[in-house]
Amino acid sequence: MPILTLSELTKAYGSEPVLSGVTFSVEPKEKVALVGRNGTGKTTILRLIAGLDQADRGAVTLAPWARAAYLAQIPEGTAEDTVWDHVLTGAADVQALEARLRHLETLMADPEIHDDSARLRSVMDEYGTVHDHFEHAGGFTLDVRAAMVLSGLGFAEADRQKLLATLSGGWRVRAELARVLLAEPDLLLLDEPTNHLDLEALEWLQDYLQEFPGAAIIVSHDRYLIDAVTTRTLELEERLVTSFPGAYSVYVRLKAELIERRREQVERQQEEIAKLEAYIRRYKAGNRATMAKSREKRLGRVQQRAVEAPRQAKTMRVKTSAGAASGKIVLTLRGVSKQYEHHRVLQDVDLLLFRGERIGLLGANGVGKSTLLKLMAGLEEPTAGRVTHGIGVRATYFAQEPTSALDPENSVLDEVLADRPMTPEAVRAYLGRFLFSGEDVFKQVAMLSGGERQRLSLAKMLLDEPNVLLLDEPTNHLDIPSREALEAALRDFTGTIVVATHDRYLLERLTSRILTIQDGAIADFHGTYHELSVKRARERVRKVEKPEVARAGPAKKPRQKQSSALNFEEVAGQIADAERDLENVSRRLGDPELYRDPDLVKKAQQQYKGAEERLAELYALLETLDSAG
C-alpha cells in the first residue's frame, strides 16, 4: 500500500495554472527525486502534500499510520528559541511523553499516592504504558540523536545555546533541517535541503538519507545527492508529473532516449503525411480520384493521431571564449598570508597555477575560499607574501553573491551594455542566450530573482573574454538545466579555471586538481573529486586499523588512557557499554517498586542522567574521530 497518493491534483494561483492533473504515488521506504525547472511548481507539490496549501481539485492521500515532515526553503521558527530547543521541537511527541513520565514519577513518590494502593496501581499502570511508548519512540536516546544530527550538519556544541535570531539565514536553514530529521517521520519532504551546506555536511546528509528507513521526496539541484540517494525520478514539466525509474543519471539517459524516439516518430509521420499529400495533389482530379479520396481519409487519420514534436524548453546557451592565451604560469603565490584583525585565514601559502588547469577549491564554510579567490583576482592584498599574475593573464572573479557586483538601480540591458562598444540590439541578442528575452531586458536588477541575478552576472563575466575564471559558487540559485549548460560551457573553455563550489557533480566533471583549505594551510591533490574521496575513505580505514598494532605494546589501565588516544573501535565499544547502562537504568525506572523509596528514585534518575551525558560525550568523540579521518 502506498504511503502517499496524489490523484488528479490541480492548482492555480489566480489565472496562472501551476499543476494540472498531477497523479503519482510513493511507496513506504521509497526515495524519489522531484525535478523540474525553477518556477514549475515543485515547492507547490510539497506544500500540498504537507497540508500547507489546498488543491483546487484532486486529492492528496497520506496513509493513516504515516507522519510527514516538511523542510521549507525559507524556514520559520520562533526567533527567541535556542538552536537546541528548536531542534527538539521536531520530536515534540517524544518530549510530551517524557514530561508525562516525569509527572507520573513525581506522583508515585508522593506519600499520598503510594500509601493509597488503588491510586498507586492506577498511576503505575499508566507509567508502564507511557514508558513503553517513550522507549519505542527513542526517547531515551533523543538528546544523543539531536546532538549527532547537529554535529553532522556542522553545529559545534557551543552553537546549541545560540538564539535562532542571531543566526544567518544559512545556519537557520541548517537548524530547521536538523529539526525535521530529528522528527524521524515516515515521509520526509525536503525542499532544497543542500542549500547553505558545505561539503562535509553534504556528505553527512547524503549518508543519513541513504540509511533513513522511511520514504522521502527530495527537491534538489544537487545532482550528486539525488543520484546517490533516490531510486526514482519524478519530472514536473508543463504542469504534469512523469515518472522515470532510476536515479537522476538514469533519468537523464531515459529522457534523452524518449525525446529522440519522439523526434523519430515525428519525422516518420511527416514523411508519411508528405507522401499522402503529394499523391492526393497528383491524382485528385484524374483517373485515380477514388484512390486519392481514400488517401485523404488516411491522411486525416494520420493527422488525428499525430505525435507532437518534443518541446524544447528554454535553456541557457552559454559559449565561452578565452581570447588570447596567457603564459604557461598563470598565478604564483609565495608565502601568502591573510589576516582580518585577530583572525588568520591563510598562512604561508605557496602555489603555482598553470595555463589550462581546472582546479576545485574545497573547505568548510568560512575557512577562506572566497578570500583566496579574491587574492588571486587582485581584489584584496595579502597581509604577507606576494601574489603574481603571469604574462597575458586576464582574470575575472565571479562573486558568490552576485548582488555585490550588480547595480540594483540598473536595468538588465544597461547593466550589461555599460560602456562596452556594443549596440543595444547586439546586447539583447546576447542576453537571450542567458534567458533574458523580450521585455525581460528592461527589468530592474533589484527586481530579479536569485537565479536571474546569477545568470546576469555570468553574462557580464563571459562577455569580456577572460582567460582565467575565478568562480565562487557559480551554480548557486541555478536550476539543473542551467547548471548543465554552464558546466558544458566551462568544459569547452580553453583558459584556466579555479572554482570554489559545493556542487560535487560539477567538481567531478570539470576539475582534475583539488585544493583543500584547512586551518590556514592548503593541501594540493592532483586528481578528481571522486579520487580524493576514495583516498580519504582509505585513510579513515587505515586510521581505524592502525591502533591494532599499538595494542600489542604495554597495556594501559583504561582510566589512565586519555580520550585523545582512543581509536574509533574502542569508542564504539564504550558506546555499546554506555547504551547497556542506560537500558539497565531505564528498566529500573520502569519498576513500580522503586517508587516506594523517594531516595532510590532520585538516585536512579541521577544515574540515568549521568548515563545519558556519558553516551552523548562518547557519540561526540566518535564524530570527532570520524571527521578527523
pLDDT above 70 covers a percentage of the chain that reads 89
The answer to which of 26-35, 187-196, 446-455 has the lowest mean pLDDT is 446-455
Q: What integer is the mean pLDDT of 291-312?
A: 77
**Residue 560 has what pLDDT?**
36
pLDDT mean over 316-335: 85
Closest of 33, 49, 45, 44 to residue 244, by C-alpha: 33
Q: What is the pLDDT of residues 397-430, one digit of tens each?
A: 988 776 667 888 888 888 888 877 888 888 888 8
pLDDT at 193: 92
The reported pLDDT for the residue numbered 381 is 93
* pLDDT at residue 141 tops 80: no
Give the residue among 497, 455, 498 at the shortest CA–CA distance from 477: 455
pLDDT at 565 over 60: no
Contact partners, residue 298, CB within 8 Å, separation at least 6: 276
Rounded distance between C-alpha atoms, residue 415 and residue 445, angstroms: 8
In Å, how far are 5, 60, 147, 278 from 65, measured between CA atoms? 14, 15, 28, 64
**pLDDT at residue 555 greater than cutoff 50:** no
In this structure, of 46-60, 195-209, 615-629, the range with the lowest mean pLDDT score is 615-629
Find, among 475, 442, 440, 439, the residue nearest to 457 by Cα: 475
Q: Which whole number is the average pLDDT over 130-157?
A: 83
- Please give the pLDDT value at position 500: 93
Half-sphere exposure of 502 (CA within 13 A, CB side): 21
Tally the residues of the chain. 629
For residues 140-167, give the mean pLDDT: 86
How would residue 102 be classed by pLDDT, with cut points 50, 70 and 90? confident
pLDDT at 559 over 50: no
Asked whether 446 and 409 are in contact (CB, 8 A), the reply is: yes
Residue pLDDT, tens place only, 7-50: 999 999 888 888 999 999 999 999 999 998 887 889 999 999 99
* 144 or 61: which leads in pLDDT: 61
User: Is 352 strand, coil or helix?
Assistant: strand
**Comparing 537 with 52, which gets the higher pLDDT?**
52
Residue 584 has pLDDT above 90, yes or no: no
Share of residues in the chain with pLDDT > 90 (%): 32
Distance CA 371, CA 338 (A): 8
How would you write 283-323 as a 3-class SS string? HCCCCCHHHHHHHHHHHHHHHHCCCCCCCCCCCCCCCCCCC
Residue 69 binned pLDDT confidence (cut-offs 50, 70, 90): very high
Q: In the 3-class helix/strand/coil scheme, how is 63-101 assigned residue by residue? A: CCCCCEEEECCCCCCCCCCEHHHHHHHHHHHHHHHHHHH
| pLDDT tens readout for residues 455-479 | 888 888 888 888 999 999 888 878 8
Buried b (16+ CB within 10 A) or exposed e, 313-336: eeebebebebeeebeeebbebeeb
Instruction: With CA atoms as reference, report the closest residue to 365 among 345, 385, 395.
Output: 345
Asked which of 152-166, 302-316, 338-352 is least confident by mean pLDDT, the reply is: 302-316
Q: Is 422 helix (H, G, I), strand (E, B) or coil?
A: coil
Q: Which of 115-129, 167-181, 281-295, 557-571 has the highest mean pLDDT?
A: 167-181
- Reported as half-sphere exposure (CB side, CA atoms, 13 A), residue 120 has a value of 16
- Mean pLDDT of the chain, nearest integer: 84
The per-residue pLDDT for 550 is 40
- Reduced to 3 states (helix: H, G, I; strand: E, B; else coil), residue 383 is coil
Q: Is the pLDDT of residue 627 over 60?
A: no
Contacts of 379 (CB under 8 A, 6+ apart): 397
pLDDT of residue 383: 93
Return the C-alpha cell found at 109.
513518590
pLDDT band at 291 (very low <50, low <70, confident <90, very high): confident
137 pLDDT above the threshold of 90: no
CA dihedral 547, 551, 556, 559 (to 10 degrees): 40
pLDDT surpasses 90 at 218: yes
Instruction: Check whether 529 has a pLDDT greater than 70.
Output: yes
Query: What separation, in Å, do the N-terminal and C-terminal C-alpha atoms of the chain show?
Result: 42
- Give 338-389 pLDDT, tens digit per residue: 998 888 899 999 999 999 999 999 988 888 999 999 999 999 999 999 999 9
User: CA-to-CA distance for 482 and 551, rounded, in angstroms?
Assistant: 54
Contact 10, 241 (CB under 8 A): no
DSSP E strand boundaries for 390-506: 395-398, 468-472, 496-500
For position 389, what pLDDT does the model report?
94
Averaged pLDDT for residues 484-504? 90
